[in-house]
Amino acid sequence: MINTVRAEVITIGDEILFGQIADTNTAWIGTELTNIGIRVIRKSSVGDQKEAILQVLAEAHQRADIIIITGGLGPTKDDITKKTLCTYFGVGMVRNETALALVTGFFEKRGREMTDLNRGQADLPANAVYIQNDWGTAPGMWFEHQDRVYISLPGVPFEMKHLMSNRILPKLTAHFQTPIIKHKMIRTVGIGESFLAERIEAWEDALPDHIKLAYLPSFGGVKLRLTATGADNTLLDHQLAEQVTKVMPLIEKNVYGFDNEEIETVVGKLLLEKQLTLSIAESCTGGYVSAQITKVPGSSAYFWGSVVSYSNSVKVTQLGVLPETLEAYGAVSEETIRQMAEGVRKALGTSVGIATSGIAGPDGGTPDKPVGTIWIACSTEQRTVTRLLKLGQYRDQNIQLTTMYVLNMLREEILNQ
Amino acid sequence: MINTVRAEVITIGDEILFGQIADTNTAWIGTELTNIGIRVIRKSSVGDQKEAILQVLAEAHQRADIIIITGGLGPTKDDITKKTLCTYFGVGMVRNETALALVTGFFEKRGREMTDLNRGQADLPANAVYIQNDWGTAPGMWFEHQDRVYISLPGVPFEMKHLMSNRILPKLTAHFQTPIIKHKMIRTVGIGESFLAERIEAWEDALPDHIKLAYLPSFGGVKLRLTATGADNTLLDHQLAEQVTKVMPLIEKNVYGFDNEEIETVVGKLLLEKQLTLSIAESCTGGYVSAQITKVPGSSAYFWGSVVSYSNSVKVTQLGVLPETLEAYGAVSEETIRQMAEGVRKALGTSVGIATSGIAGPDGGTPDKPVGTIWIACSTEQRTVTRLLKLGQYRDQNIQLTTMYVLNMLREEILNQ
């Protein structure tokens, strides 16, 4: 029996507490640690104050085997992580020659002059194992202290990710014996959390003890996450697959994908499989649908382009919407959305066209068409389908929800092909 | 002298620890609390385990006056916040009739049947003050316990925000006497953190004790945050303005905005002021630039539309790029980007056109044009400027950085008008 290896993740920086930057690092670290069978038991953020940092380190020491610290490694005066780690470990600061060579090379390569602040980035607590950062001048550091591993990383996301992926995760896997934790995510759309729960209640109650279920609601869909813990990789995979097979008949119509498959990845795969090409006409979503589609590497194989038609003149000249349709029914109408989807498909010469037009808010609503009134459409060579959405009052949310719905409409229409 | 009011924010849910959803709530809460003069001293996330929740509550009790808890209030079995709060406070669970009426009404309005799980959402710990959630069935709750205020809110972002904005923040302002904390953010682009630090070193060293400076680096820019603490609102504003006046001559060319002004908001204002209209031709950014521009409410006043020209055929038919240019120089070239910016401006009939074309990666690079080779352009009635960017290997990062650079190019060109 292998003991659970427990990790805590600590972010340092007033800007996180004050909400001036969003923390995307710890979610990423959580996923990576989970994947190698390390259990994240707590995440904490504290400000750039020595006492607060010392306290959270001491607390984490009581609970965790691994303590990962991000942030506070910049060259400027408000960054105090290294000094505080010296106090915590009871050691002095030492200039690391390898680190110094790297910082020097970094500046030489870019033809920039180096400052004393930059040189200071090569100073490390004496007990640190230096972990080379190929993407910036802040060092990675690994400490072993009273049977715990402490890791300090820069807060800049791409530097942190590079250090974790290439240096830290392999070192952790070598250092610890970890149990196996496997996840399976089932992604649903078009059904609320409590209805989903009722529909699968008997199945949920019959889950074995080592498999846990969680409901993760988000915009436009609920994800079901199964987590299995054990010692045998193949067995766990098999047991998870078995549970998926059992539950699928109950929810099949609402499932669009598994694990990390975002809906834009799912529709991309379907378009490729069926050898279809896609174009998009966006009004109220303003480019967001296209941005989601093109986030996917390789999307140029099936996505040809979009027209973001914010003004009516662009709807007419680029998409061929009839001025008399706009005149008679308005830009937010079934007649217009139909012409937008058909128009973009023809103008860009693709097999499928999708379209959005509505009132995202906060302004522009009328008694007839309040904020949140949004039409979506999908046009193929066979037919054009349209749908009216009645969403809420928040602009961001309306844009995101509309995107989810129109991509799901696209998915359903491709499956009908 | 007013004492500092300290708050801790606790998020509950395995999905946060395992990185399966990104936590955007706590950044938002941090901003709102800071704005009303409450100091956030720690953020913590724990999983859906009773012991872990009890422990983090007890710890927060030692340090903070206000403890805000989000998450774990859903109707399903994995949500245990309410039960755990009962244990923590030593009280039982009581059905709240107001809450029940609300849940019932919520389902009636939508013509959906109610389940026992839904009815359970009206059960609250006996010492809870019920805080009405107009946007969902999970309740808000306010507790006063041993001279501390505990607040429990649903984790769904728009429900949490509604409850905080309309119910909790006013109640906190009424309950506590808070010192005044004022922030001023100066947003820069095109200069690295350590160079900025050197340039403003003398100014930084001369800052009075009650004004703190932080450097917040992010994609394409570094933000300088000044934080002033005191008792006199007007005086603090005046002192912050004074410091901004002192530092601006040192960094003026690199400053694009202040406080929460994102670059898309800044260019929007400039376009309106100068009565200019904007169109966009996007290749490698795939709609992301347009999505940023249209995130801004009211952007339809100056933004007419975009063409996302992922395929060469769309560049030719919709933007008027010459086939012989694509043939001779390729889609990622100065000649093509110039025609894209000029083409979209003419095709959509706007006064300004901007364009992006490059190799976002991970595939598509060649020895001549490696991944990260990206051209941007801005065309006005006076002239067309172009610029070659040499970025990195990560697709997401290339898309975001290109967007920042092309919007800054747009800003500079508008200022030249």
- Name the E strands within B2-65: 6-12, 39-46
Other C-beta atoms lying within 10 Å of the C-beta of residue A228: 21
Nearest-angstrom CA–CA distance, B283 and B316 = 13
Residue B128: closest CA among B116, B104, B148, B145: B145
Q: Does A111 touch chain B (CB under 8 A)?
A: no
Nearest-angstrom CA–CA distance, B187 and B406 = 16
Residue A100's pLDDT is 93
Q: Which of A341-355, B9-23, B286-300, B368-382 has the lowest mean pLDDT?
A: B9-23
Determine, for residues A74 and B215 on separate chains, whether the beta-carbon distance falls below 8 Å: yes
Determine, for residues B19 and A26 on separate chains, whether the beta-carbon distance falls below 8 Å: yes
Residue B342's pLDDT is 98
B6-175: which CATH number, 3.30.980.10, 1.10.3720.10, 3.30.70.1560, 3.40.980.10?
3.40.980.10
Pair A353, A345: CB distance under 8 Å: yes
Residues 87-106 of A with CB under 8 A from B: none
Domain boundaries, chain B: 6-175, 180-258, 263-416
Residue B384's pLDDT is 98
Q: Does B107 touch chain A (CB under 8 A)?
A: no
Nearest-angstrom CA–CA distance, B161 and B133 = 10
Residue A2's pLDDT is 57
Instruction: Enter the DSSP assignment of A386.
Output: E
Determine, for residues A347 and B317 on separate chains, whether the beta-carbon distance falls below 8 Å: yes
Continuous segment of H or E residues that includes residue B53: helix B50-63
- Using a CB-CB cut-off of 8 Å, the residues of chain A touching B276 are none
The three-class DSSP label of residue A6 is strand
The predicted model gives B51-72 an average pLDDT of 96
Asked whether this complex has an ipTM greater than 0.95, the answer is no
Q: How far is A147 from chain B (nearest CA, A)?
A: 22
Question: Does the domain formed by A5-175 have CATH 3.40.980.10?
Answer: yes
Q: Does B346 touch chain A (CB under 8 A)?
A: no
The mean pLDDT value of chain A amounts to: 92
Instruction: Enter the DSSP assignment of A166.
Output: I
- Give the residue on B whose Cα is nearest the Cα of A312: B304
Identify any residues that bridge with B151 across adjacent strands, giving them in sequence order. Answer: B68, B142
Q: Does B215 touch chain A (CB under 8 A)?
A: yes
Tally of CA atoms within 13 A in the half-sphere of A250 that contains its CB: 16
The mean pLDDT value of chain B amounts to: 92
pLDDT band at B394 (very low <50, low <70, confident <90, very high): confident
Each residue's pLDDT tens digit, A276-332: 999 999 999 999 999 999 999 999 999 999 999 999 999 999 999 999 999 999 999
Nearest-angstrom CA–CA distance, A200 and A226 = 13
Determine, for residues B294 and A307 on separate chains, whether the beta-carbon distance falls below 8 Å: no
The pLDDT of residue B92 is above 60 = yes
Q: Does A77 touch chain B (CB under 8 A)?
A: yes
Determine, for residues B21 and A31 on separate chains, whether the beta-carbon distance falls below 8 Å: no
Residue B2's pLDDT is 57
Q: Which of A130-134, B29-33, B163-167, B219-223 has the lowest mean pLDDT?
A: B219-223
The pLDDT of residue A156 is above 50 = yes
Each residue's pLDDT tens digit, B106-153: 888 777 778 888 889 899 999 999 999 988 889 999 999 999 999 999
Q: Does B115 touch chain A (CB under 8 A)?
A: yes
Determine, for residues A308 and B307 on separate chains, whether the beta-carbon distance falls below 8 Å: yes
What CATH code is assigned to A263-416? 3.90.950.20
B195: which residues sit within 8 A by CB, 6+ positions away?
A112, A115
- Using a CB-CB cut-off of 8 Å, the residues of chain B touching A297 are 361-363, 395
- Give the residue on B whose Cα is nearest the Cα of A218: B156
Amino acid found at A67: I
Residue A1's pLDDT is 45
The predicted model gives B402-407 an average pLDDT of 95
The predicted model gives A113-126 an average pLDDT of 89
Q: How far is B254 from chain A (nearest CA, A)?
A: 18
- Using a CB-CB cut-off of 8 Å, the residues of chain B touching A349 are 313, 317
Each residue's pLDDT tens digit, B255-304: 999 998 999 999 999 999 999 999 999 999 999 999 999 999 999 999 99
Residue A114's pLDDT is 83
For the CA atoms of B326, B332, B336, B340, what is the dihedral angle to 10 degrees? 120
Identify any residues that bridge with B9 across adjacent strands, giving them in sequence order. Answer: B43, B68
The token pair that represents B342 in the structure block: 């000029």
Pair A375, A412: CB distance under 8 Å: no
What letters, b where the CB count within 10 A reaches 16 and e where it falls short, cover B99-123?
bbebbeebbeeeeeebeebbbbbbb
Question: Residue B381 burial by CB count (10 A; 0-12/13-18/19+): exposed, middle or buried?
Answer: exposed
Helix ranges, B208-252 (H):
233-251
Q: Which of A268-282, B23-37, B84-98 has the lowest mean pLDDT?
A: B23-37
The predicted model gives A128-155 an average pLDDT of 94
The pLDDT of residue A32 is above 60 = yes
Amino acid found at B229: T
Pair B34, B183: CB distance under 8 Å: yes
Question: Does the domain formed by B180-258 have CATH 3.40.640.10?
Answer: no
Mutate to test the interface with B, among A32, A77, A310, A354 (most CBs of B within 10 A): A310
For residues A220 and A277, which has the higher predicted lDDT (pLDDT)?
A277
- Give the residue on B whose Cα is nearest the Cα of A364: B298
- Using a CB-CB cut-off of 8 Å, the residues of chain B touching A361 are 297
Residue A248's pLDDT is 97
End-to-end CA distance of chain B: 51
Pair B56, B10: CB distance under 8 Å: yes
Continuous segment of H or E residues that includes residue A240: helix A233-251
Percent of chain A with pLDDT over 70: 100
Q: Does B76 touch chain A (CB under 8 A)?
A: yes
Nearest-angstrom CA–CA distance, B230 and B208 = 12
Identical fold at A180-258 and A263-416?
no
Percent of chain B with pLDDT over 70: 100
Each residue's pLDDT tens digit, A157-199: 889 999 999 999 999 989 998 778 888 999 998 888 888 999 9
Candidate from B77, B280, B297 with C-beta closest to A395: B297
Mutate to test the interface with A, among B303, B308, B390 (most CBs of A within 10 A): B308
Candidate from B18, B303, B317 with C-beta closest to A30: B18
The pLDDT of residue A218 is above 80 = no
Determine, for residues A42 and B34 on separate chains, whether the beta-carbon distance falls below 8 Å: no
Determine, for residues B19 and A34 on separate chains, whether the beta-carbon distance falls below 8 Å: yes
Q: How far is A126 from chain B (nearest CA, A)?
A: 24
For residues B247 and A393, which has the higher predicted lDDT (pLDDT)?
B247
- Using a CB-CB cut-off of 8 Å, the residues of chain A touching B364 are 300
Each residue's pLDDT tens digit, A43-82: 999 999 999 999 999 999 999 999 999 998 887 777 899 9
Determine, for residues B15 and A304 on separate chains, whether the beta-carbon distance falls below 8 Å: no
What is the total residue count of chain B?
Answer: 417
Q: Does B8 touch chain A (CB under 8 A)?
A: no
Candidate from A78, A294, A395 with C-beta closest to B310: A294
